[in-house]
Structure 1
Amino acid sequence: MTSFDVVVVGSGIVGLGHALAASDRGLSVAVVDRAAAIGGASVRNFGHLCFTPQSGPAREFALRSRPLWLRLEADAGVWMRESGTVVLARHDDELAVLRELAAQRGAESVFGVGEPDVVLFDATEVSERLPLADGTAVGGAHLPWDLQVNPRQAAAGLAAYLASRGVDFRYRTAVTAVRPGRVTTTRGPIHAGTVIVAVNHDIDQLYPKIAERDGIVRCGLDMLRVDAGLRAPLPAPVLTGWSLLRYGAFSSLPAAATLGERLRREYPLLAELDLNQMYTQLQDGSLIVGDTHYRGASVSVFQNENAFEQLLQLTSELFGVRRPRVLERWQGVYASGRADFLIDQPEPGVYLVAATTGIGMTTGLGLAEHVISTVCNFAIPSLTLKGTP
């Protein structure tokens, strides 16, 4: 029976983050996954590392994640855009939310020395930056500390980097049981000093009672990659008023309640889709467009074409272009719970960890750093994280 200091079950971004944190501490690490390659929520997303819109523990984990992502740009060859985020306001109540957050955050940023977290734009400044249809913007904001990665390359790049450092990856290997000091798999048992179970929504397959206790279900979403024919490239990921209802730093503000009431009243069909209208642009110029949300213990594999039609129509109207040409469609699935995160210890030396609100790419590396250093109490040796702002 092989033996490792840390065995990570699951090779999504949260699992890989734990492997990175453990490896940084000189621990021997194995990552076990039943799939043949990384293909879950860690690749089916926007690649938007939206650090600024987080609040509470998510903000703490975002703060820890940012320098780690920048380090991976240098050390692991992860493609990165340090462009921040542009938030488009098309109505005064959307601009009011941005103004409230700017006032709350003030002139100094906790992310580093330089620009504040939120830089307000007037309508002209937004229109100069984004290729919008005429008369679309009333204002907006720049969130300069946010980053963008290519979701199809980032997790795979991190995994390759970890493998080059000696982390043992065991794909196509299902875990059938976890006990203190032992992980039982379809390819034999593995001895583990510490076990990290980071299987996202599949936590109910190994620990159903904990999933039920915490209300963890699956959240499905509809996404597209399109050729939109924009007259100019996007300078950064783009959020809209619908996005302001989704992230804690925005949604907790008094102005967000007024915004939510109006959007639900004026656009009931979009509200029913639980829309987050946002865009990121990949290196080849194509746009990732999304997304909708629907939840359950399982999510149907059959996607309603109406969701895609709405996303395409919204994109056409926003940028003043013809119907975008669809290059790919897909369904994302991630864990959704009553809290933003699951951190549990069902047995000695066994930890269950998940981001349970769809912000794994943004917070996963910092979450892992927190668990390995604080919960598991593995001290880090003298180490300088590269790329700190």
Structure 2
Amino acid sequence: MTSSYDLIVIGAGALGTFHAYHAAKAGKRVLLLEKDRYPIGATVRNFGQAVPSGLAGRWFDYGRRSLEIYRDIQQETDISVRQNGTIYIASDVDEWTLANELHDRYQQIGYVSELWTKAQCLAKYPTLKPDYVVGGIYFPQEMSVEPEQMIHRLIAFVQQKYGVDYRPGSVVVDAQSTASGATVTLSNRQQFQADRVIICSGHEVRLLFPEVLAQAGLVVSKLQMLLAEPVAGLDLPGNILTGLTIRRYESFQECPSYERISVNTPEHLAELKKWGIHILFKQATDGSIIVGDSHEYAEATQAEDLGYHTQDFINDLMLAEARRIVTFPLTVRKTWAGFYSQTKNEIFEHSIDSNIHIVTGIGGKGMSSGAGYTEHNIQQWLK
């Protein structure tokens, strides 16, 4: 017998699970299917930083709303959200110029930001190297989560609070429209029926509608990241982003001086820029410190070419730059590679028909903006 739902979501990463959350909260019967025993993709391999300040266009608006959603859920159950803010540390005059211009822009639209002097940055973060710091721009409302905990706690919450039917280890091999909606078929031939299906498959492009995804312009980004051992007495609250981040993130690219500054990368940053490296720090609740990251790219249909390994010389580049920024010891506990899909068109949204929809390729914006974006998607469906 085929079980029936209002919505089936395929993929239980942040994008899929937040779709399930918003639909179930609106009273819909939701089935959430995950091919692995638990999510192991981009959602658990990132910094766990919710930083709308780095986003542009509608993604900033989704990010701003995401902060409210995170706050609302955290008030009901602990999904590891902490509101400790975000600081971008400018290391030279150009980066400080961009920080000032972004501050001016956010003042105009009512998004709280504070310009910090070098002395203020060092007072808050005394392990920053003084010769690195020119100043900073701080966003007190921004948040962080524990990436290896958040999604599991969120899934448990949507099950317990809203009755989402979550089925891990469910590999969907087919999705077909029917007269009354859509039917999905698992690898074990079990079938489920729903009015609508949303596919949030991350960088998996071969299981469902491979011919569509092959033409989607999707690119996979491979990121290398490190986890450093806790340091006694070290307190690094919030999300700490640095000069290379200012030179990279979309919000700074909208600043008046960005075009001039972007063509004049300092020579000592050229090799880092070649590998898409910018340095971020995020201290976990156990005191360990996530450090990263780098970016390598391949077409989604050729993602294997990126390799499953991490490259020591990239890790060494990141560690050398990190040690140029902070004074505390960085003793590596483990390293890993993360993968996410992205597209030049911000995200890949495609309707197979009125019943089956693909949503993927959100890039590095998922943790910061996914909660708000998926709310908008579900609201459009419910209209």
Q: Give the alignment's TM-score, normalised by structure 2.
A: 0.92
Task: Decide whether aligned partners of structure 1 residues 308 and 6 sit closer, same or farther in structure 2, where only a CA change above 3 A counts.
Answer: same
Aligned to 2:136: 140
Task: Decide whether aligned partners of structure 1 residues 264 and 195 sit closer, same or farther in structure 2, where only a CA change above 3 A counts.
Answer: farther
CA-atom RMSD in angstroms = 1.7
Distance in 2 of aligned mates of 1:88 and 1:106:
19
Work out the percentage of aligned pairs sharing the same amino acid: 25
Structure 1 counterpart of 2:238, one-letter code: A
Cα distance, 1:211 vs. partner?
A: 2.7
Is the counterpart of residue 252 in structure 1 residue 254 in structure 2? yes
Cα distance, 1:34 vs. partner?
A: 1.1
Deviation per residue, 1:286-326 (Å, 9 max, x gap)? 1100000011131211221001111222222211234x111
Is the counterpart of residue 321 in structure 1 residue 340 in structure 2? no
Aligned to 1:223: 225
Distance in 1 of aligned mates of 2:230 and 2:256:
35
Aligned to 1:267: 269
Task: Decide whether aligned partners of structure 1 residues 226 and 207 sit closer, same or farther in structure 2, where only a CA change above 3 A counts.
Answer: same
**Mapped contact 1:78–1:158 kept (Cα < 8 A):** yes
Q: Which moved more, 1:348-357 or 1:120-129?
A: 348-357
**Mapped contact 2:172–2:207 kept (Cα < 8 A):** no
Deviation per residue, 1:80-124 (Å, 9 max, x gap)? 211110110110100000111111222652xxxxxx432111111
Equivalent positions of 1:112-131 (< 5 A) are 116-130=111-125, 131=127
**Mapped contact 2:80–2:146 kept (Cα < 8 A):** yes
Q: Which moved more, 1:86-95 or 1:338-347?
A: 338-347
Structure 1 counterpart of 2:259, one-letter code: A
**Mapped contact 2:95–2:247 kept (Cα < 8 A):** no
Identify which of 178, 188, 196 aligns with 2:175: 178
**Mapped contact 2:348–2:362 kept (Cα < 8 A):** yes
3-state SS of paired residue (2:5): strand
Distance in 1 of aligned mates of 2:264 and 2:313:
22
Distance in 2 of aligned mates of 1:71 and 1:245:
32
Q: Please identify runs of 4+ aligned residues in structure 1 that moved more than 4 A.
A: none
Distance in 1 of aligned mates of 2:205 and 2:21:
21
Task: Decide whether aligned partners of structure 1 residues 247 and 207 sit closer, same or farther in structure 2, where only a CA change above 3 A counts.
Answer: farther
Structure 2 counterpart of 1:57, one-letter code: R
**Mapped contact 1:355–1:364 kept (Cα < 8 A):** no
Aligned to 1:385: none
Deviation per residue, 1:249-287 (Å, 9 max, x gap)? 112223223433333643221111111211111111111
Distance in 2 of aligned mates of 1:314 and 1:92:
18
Structure 1 counterpart of 2:224, one-letter code: D
**Mapped contact 2:31–2:165 kept (Cα < 8 A):** yes
Aligned to 1:339: 345
Q: Give the alignment's TM-score, normalised by structure 1.
A: 0.91
Q: Which moved more, 1:81-90 or 1:312-321?
A: 312-321
**Mapped contact 1:87–1:141 kept (Cα < 8 A):** yes
Distance in 2 of aligned mates of 1:319 and 1:248:
25
Equivalent positions of 1:104-115 (< 5 A) are 104-106=105-107, 109=110
Q: Which moved more, 1:129-138 or 1:290-299?
A: 129-138
Structure 1, gaps ≥5 residues long: 110-115, 380-389
Distance in 2 of aligned mates of 1:259 and 1:233:
33
Structure 2, gaps ≥5 residues long: none
